Chains A and B, each alone.
Chain A
């Protein structure tokens, strides 16, 4: 099973600041990595897939990068609606696995 480790666990920032979230895999997942956003009481929503491709309707302030085992989600300038929990997920191998999540909270 591929283990995904996200850091930091919590990120305290102000609106307008840049957020950088990290996801490290226990082995290479090639380009098969995605990021999801989840707000309280809501299901997750796909933001980024295949490392850097934005899902339909996702604003350009969200970007993904990385390769192999190290990946990054960057939110260039935080909007109030971006404060949420973010999960990375791999589909390189079964079982599909998720990272433990990063909570982006208002400072």
Chain B
């Protein structure tokens, strides 16, 4: 069974940094694309970033240059380094498994999410 466990969320001041982690198990992590999505409380879903099995990386415009997605296949872990955080980055962040190795597939299942709050 695929399991995705996010961690690293919390309260951070505007302009600060945070690193999210996602521990993956139940599938050959190195062979699959992975992605981060987010959801503001009570609002809709937004795609944030994706990474292929060969480390090709994609970002939504609002986070490009501030967020960095990475993966460590030796640890079966996905990361999201978030710098220069803004209030509008406040959301639950979900780690999601790709359909296959490339980023052009569907993403599912989703982890339970970790809450990031950017506030002074």
Question: Which residues of chain B are within 8 angstroms of A98 by Cβ–Cβ distance?
Answer: 44-47
CB distance from B105 to the nearest CB of A (A): 8
Considering only CB atoms and an 8 Å cut-off, how many residues of chain A contact the other chain? 20
The reply to whether the CB of B66 lies closer than 8 angstroms to some CB of chain A is: no
Stretch at the interface among A13-21, A59-67, A70-78, A87-95: A87-95
- Which residue of A has the minimal Cβ distance to B46? A98
Partner of B61, one of A34, A95, A96, A101: A95
The reply to whether the CB of A97 lies closer than 8 angstroms to some CB of chain B is: yes
Question: Which residues of chain B are within 8 angstroms of A94 by Cβ–Cβ distance?
Answer: 58
The reply to whether the CB of A11 lies closer than 8 angstroms to some CB of chain B is: no
Docked CA distance A38–B104 (Å):
23
Among B23-50, those with CB < 8 Å from A are 44-47, 50
Partner of A34, one of B46, B106, B111: B106
Docked CA distance A96–B44 (Å):
13
Question: Which residues of chain B are within 8 angstroms of A89 by Cβ–Cβ distance?
Answer: 45
Residue of B46, B106, B107 with highest tally of chain A CB at under 10 A: B106
CB distance from B60 to the nearest CB of A (A): 5
Q: Residue-by-residue, is A19-45 near B (CB-CB < 8 Å gives 1, otherwise 0)?
A: 000000000000000101010000111
The reply to whether the CB of A46 lies closer than 8 angstroms to some CB of chain B is: yes
Residues of B within 8 A of A (CB): 44-47, 50, 58, 60-61, 94, 104-113
* Given A36-B45, A94-B58, A98-B45; 14 other pairs, CB 8 A cutoff: A34-B106, A36-B108, A43-B113, A44-B45, A46-B106, A46-B109, A49-B106, A55-B108, A91-B105, A95-B47, A95-B58, A95-B60, A95-B61, A101-B44
Residues of A within 8 A of B (CB): 34, 36, 38, 43-46, 49, 55, 87, 89, 91, 94-101
